[in-house]
Structures are given as structure tokens and as C-alpha cells.
Amino acid sequence: MRQTAQLVTATTALALVLTACSGSGDEGSGDASTITVAYQKTDSFFQLHDLLVKSKAEFEEANPGMTIELEPIASQETDYFTKLALMNGSPDTAPDIIYEDTFQVRPDAAAGYLLPMDEYLAEWEDWDQFPEGIREAGKGDDGSIYGVSMGTDTRGVYYNKEIFEQAGLPTDWQPENWDDLLDAARTVKANVPDVIPMNVYSSKAQGEATSMQGFEMLLYGTDDTLYDAEQGKWIVGSQGFEDSLSFLKTLQDEDLAPNLEDALDTNLPNRVSGELLPQGRLAIAIDGSWVPGGWMAGDNAWPEWEEVMGMAAMPTQNGQAPGSTSMSGGWLLSIGANAPDPQAAFDFIALTLNEENSFKFATENSQIAARDDVASNPDYVAFNPSFEFFSSLVPNTNFRPATPDYAQISNNIQVAAESVITGQATPEQAAATYDEAVTRVVGDDMVTEAG
């Protein structure tokens, strides 16, 4: 949807923490009557805020004397993770409830930031509505559950049918391989020169969006992946890794991608969904299933999107089986290890993720529902015309390696991608640098050569 905390000086860390916290300073105070909730909020991602405002009112009405203190962190993912890590670094600033990316659960649980939730889940009758695969998203290395999923997602290819028609391209487009993607972008450039042909996130500024929406959507369509799950080792010497970087280089070298100023913009994901696609300034975008949620309501509402935007599955590199690929992730609500009243914190999570509220979030935020009762609700399927398409990508989707060191690996993916699009390294050089970095992070005994 979404990076390892960066090293900062004590002064900078304090400033970031103060920026991150919008509350009155009660957080981490040990006041059991106040529950602090830290979460991400941006102009294009307001649905979670709306949900938490609703559940706050419901919880406080049902629990007189209790206060839910919402702490929205207004930043993109990389900064969100950094600010959250700084908050978690001290019991005085650590939130009681945390909006957590699935890939951060294991390292954060291992670092002692999160509280195991097993005893509370065992008493929650709604837990049966969460399928086993969804439950696994919140599992730590010790087998305990450290978060309850809010939903999952897939990723595909958005294309502007009006631009395609101007370019002489079919409006019922389904690329069969990477060459089809590039040929379409080249055709747009030749025939509609005032628009950006294609966007694939490719810089450190976009953080996990570069790793997941961008690079991994390419890599997992090759014959290689990041991680050999059977061996429990990270893959190096991957031709697919180098080929994925070469695709990014081609986009940049042929002026098929945003210019470097835009490509290095931290706010590019918001601009893609809120400006470039709705304003007809971008022809093709590889992005996530949640994007239409921002077009259906709020400041970026775009009533015409159903007629204008087409959606296609991301093809594999050469059209090899299974023909298409996707990536899936998701976010959870977790209890902070320092919460003074864990039961009350869990009760708020349970209310926020009950059937009614989960339906609200899944529909409004274009989520693939985490709960069976929501997923089977006819009103859910009918709510958003993109749900059927993005749910159809699930059989061929892939998940990031659920290991504590993924965040560091992801950071090195971003470094490799940016070094290629900025011309600082060739794909071959960037892949070699990545291999060296991964080996340093995990050790010689935890890497294996691509087969």
C-alpha cells in the first residue's frame, strides 16, 4: 500500500516525534482511561481516518470515562515508518494501538514494540470470520498473533482509455508480456506527446511503493523471486533482478516515464492517483487495488473514472505461465507493548474491525475483504466495479517474504532502482551491488544463487 527507520540525530528524532504526534501529550503516560491510536493519513488516504473517527465515537459512547486519542501521522509510507519507529523507541511516546504494515509485524514484534494478542483473540467470537491465510499476516516469529488484518490488496495495470483511443491503441487492452507494455508506452509517446506514457515507482522517495508496486511487480513476473522459501534463503545472482532493472532503465532512457524530478518526488503516489490519472496526464500506471477508493469520495472524487480507466493484469516477462502476476500485502491493527490497558485496546480494535466497520473500510478503501462475512456480502461486490477485477488477480498473486530482515532488503531494492533510473549504475552494476548488500545484511549462509 506501503522501510527501515533511518538513523537521525537526537534533535531530529525529537522533532520528528513532535511532528508525528497530534495529541495533547497524554500518550504513553500510563493513563489507562486514554487509548492512543497512531496511523497514517494523507489527502488520498482518508478512509482509515474516517473509520477511526466513527469507531472512536462508538467506543466512547459504550465506555463512559474512556477516551480514544487519535494520532494521525500525515506523511507518506517511508516517513510514516520512520516516525512510528521513533515513537515506539520510548514508552513515553509509544502508541497503544498501531496501524502496522504486514511486513513490519515480525521485526516490530521481535523488537518488543507489540503485544501478543492470542489470549484476547481466543475470546473474540468474530475471529472465526478471518480465514487462516489472513490470520497468518499478523503472526510473529514466535507463532503468536500480533495484529488483526484490515484487508488485503492486489496490484495491476491501470490505463486511460481516452488516451489509448487518441493513440490508436485498443481500449480493451490486455498486455501479454513486457514488450506489449513498452510498445503501448512508445505508441502513446509518439501519438499523444503531452502525457506521461507510463509510471512504475522507481526511487527511494516512494519507499515500499517502489519495492512492491514497482520492482516486485516486474521481478515476480520473471523466472526468479526475492526469496527461496524452501531453503529459507535470499536469492542473489538473479537474471530476473537484472532484467527488471533493465525495464526501468528502458522507461527512463526512452522518456516513457515521469521526468526525474517527478520520479524522485516523495508525493508521487498521491499525485498519480489524485492528479495525473484523473487529469489525463498519465496513460499507464502500475498500482494497487485501493486507488479507485479515492476516486469514489473525498477531495479526489472522480465520478468519470469508471468510463475512463481500464484495468489489466500485469503480464509476465515473456508471457510464460501463469501469464500474469500480482503482489499482495495489507495492513493490521496491533496493540503496543506499553499499552496500560491491553484489554481496552483490544476491545477498540475488535469494534473497529467488526462486520459493519470492516464492510465500511473494505468498500470505501477498495480492500479485498479480510472477513468472510464481508467478502460474501452482495453489497460488497456491487459497491465498487473494480472489486471483481482485482479479486480475480488473487490466484496469481505473490506475497513479500515475511522475515524480520525484509525491511532492509526492501531498502536495497529501492537503492538499486534509483541508481539505475538516475544513471548512477547500469542494471548489471546495480544488481551486483544489491547482491553484496543482501549478503552483508543476512550473512553468507543465508543467500543462495538463482537457479
- What the block records as the C-alpha cell of 383 is 459497491
Q: What is the mean pLDDT of residues 51-61?
A: 98
Residue 16's pLDDT band (cuts 50, 70, 90): very low
pLDDT-derived band of residue 298, with 50, 70 and 90 as boundaries?
A: confident
Superfamily of domain 155-327+403-449: Periplasmic binding protein-like II (3.40.190.10)
pLDDT value for 169: 98
Q: Could you tell me which of 298, 308, 348, 328 has the C-alpha nearest to residue 396?
A: 328
The mean pLDDT of the chain is 91
Helices 178-191 and 239-253: angle between axes, nearest 10 degrees: 10
For the chain, the first-to-last Cα distance in angstroms comes to 30
Whether the CB-CB separation of 228 and 431 falls below 8 Å is answered with no
Which of 7-21, 101-115, 418-432 bottoms out in mean pLDDT, i.e. has the lowest?
7-21
- 133-154 tens-digit pLDDT: 899 899 998 999 999 999 999 9
Rounded Cα–Cα distance for residues 39 and 2 (Å): 12
Tell whether the model's pLDDT for residue 8 goes beyond 80.
no
Contact 389, 153 (CB under 8 A): no
Q: Name residue 38's amino acid.
A: A
CA-closest candidate to residue 376, choices 128, 132, 129, 147? 129
Please check whether the two domains, 10-153+330-398 and 155-327+403-449, share a CATH topology.
yes
Contact yes or no for 329/100 (Cβ under 8 A):
no
Are the beta carbons of 242 and 428 closer than 8 angstroms?
yes
* Nearest-angstrom CA–CA distance, 49 and 47: 5
Q: What is the DSSP letter of 211?
A: I
433 or 299, which is more confident: 433
Is residue 280 pLDDT above 70, yes or no? yes
Is the model's pLDDT at 175 over the cut of 90? yes
pLDDT digits (tens, 9 = 90+) for 406-425: 989 999 999 999 999 999 99
- What per-residue confidence (pLDDT) applies to 115? 98
Overall average pLDDT of the 266-283 stretch: 96
Exposure letters 115-145 (e unless 16+ CB within 10 A, then b):
bbbeebbeebeeeebbeeebbebbbbeeebb
List the one residue out of 134, 89, 143 whose CA is nearest residue 116.
143
The confidence band for 77, taking pLDDT boundaries of 50, 70 and 90, is: confident
309-312 and 282-288 strand pairing: unpaired
For residue 172, give the amino acid letter.
Answer: D
Q: What is the mean pLDDT of residues 84-99?
A: 94
Instruction: Over range 327-337, report the average pLDDT.
Output: 95
**Residue 387 predicted with pLDDT over 50:** yes
Domain 10-153+330-398: give its CATH code. 3.40.190.10
Provide mean pLDDT across the span 387-414: 92
Name the residue ranges covered by the structural domains of the chain: 10-153+330-398, 155-327+403-449
pLDDT at 24 over 60: no
Model confidence at 10: pLDDT above 80: no
Task: Summarize the confidence of residues 167-174 as an average pLDDT.
Answer: 98
Summarised one tens digit per residue, pLDDT across range 93-105 is 999 999 999 989 9
pLDDT at 30: 62
- pLDDT tens per residue across span 207-247: 999 999 999 999 999 999 999 989 999 999 999 999 999 99
